Amino acid sequence: MPQPCPPYLQKTVTRHGRIVWYVRKGQGSRSRIRLRQEYGTPEFWAAYQAAVNSKAPAPATATAPPSDSLAWLIDRYRQAPAWTALSLATRRQRENILRQVIKAAGAHDYKRITEAMIAAGRDRRGETPFQARHFLDTMRGLFDWAKGAGFVKFNPAAGVKYPHLKSGEGFPVWTEEDVAAYEAHWPLGTRQRVWIAVLLYTGLRRGDAVRLGRQHVRNGIASIRPQKTGGKVEVTDPPAPAIGRGTQRGAYRRA
């Protein structure tokens, strides 16, 4: 179960999908104190304690990064439509990368970021090529927006090449015999059986499959909005005979 929030701490999700934290000790909007620090950091909890103790929090400008720093540029990017238009899953993935970038080079002048610096960041992630690719996608998105907004004259990440992906066997794909052995071990009605059925027969990505539940099912049709695309999809049971493994395989369609 998720842990309850500390006393007076409230979370609000804006219409753009951003999470905003407040301390609210009374009624009315004036009783709320917004916490602008990053959630979970020592600065955040210090501001929380100050608000709970009815002390005025430090002005945002006191801890705000300099306006020529990469951290400042990233903060502006997070408030732009170019960021909020991304899917929730993409924002979550890129937010993790942006936090790493701020930690490593947040104080650097964003106008002095070069192609070589971006390439160096890619190479530091060379042992995990997919992470390096996500890093490049994140930086390209950041500087594409910055160029369009007039903050920089060129995108230093645009010309940096993706890392080479090594060819390999990868993870072995389950065979029909593997699935049959799993289903023989976990009978109908168990959570493990439901889980493999959702993965095999809905066509949903892993991040959406874990969200699918009874609340999404009406009249035998499961409806859900994937986090990546946002478009509504439906999973139904087709009339027999079904394709593949009997009547268990569902039909996946976009509504």
pLDDT, tens digit, 9 for 90 and up, residues 189-224: 898 888 888 888 787 877 788 788 878 888 888 888
Higher pLDDT, 231 or 137: 137
Mean pLDDT of 29-47: 78
Higher pLDDT, 11 or 119: 119
| In contact, 249 and 201? CB cutoff 8 Å | yes
Kindly state the tokens that stand for 88: 């929730």
pLDDT grade, residue 22 (50/70/90)? confident
Across 31-35, 141-145, 169-173, 231-235, least confident range: 169-173
Other residues' Cβ atoms within 10 Å of the Cβ of residue 219: 5
pLDDT surpassing 80 at residue 241? no
| In contact, 120 and 163? CB cutoff 8 Å | no
Mean pLDDT of 63-80: 86
What pLDDT score was predicted for residue 169? 59
Beta bridge partners of 33: 23
pLDDT surpassing 50 at residue 248? no
Other residues' Cβ atoms within 10 Å of the Cβ of residue 37: 18
| In contact, 44 and 35? CB cutoff 8 Å | yes
Mean pLDDT of 226-241: 66
Using alpha carbons, select from 14, 66, 60 the residue that is nearest to residue 34.
Answer: 60
Kindly state the tokens that stand for 42: 């020592």
What's this model's pTM, rounded to 2 decimal places? 0.54
Kindly state the tokens that stand for 215: 């609340």
What pLDDT score was predicted for residue 211? 81
What pLDDT score was predicted for residue 39? 79
Beta strands in the chain (DSSP E): 9-13, 19-24, 32-35, 217-218, 221-224, 233-236, 251-254
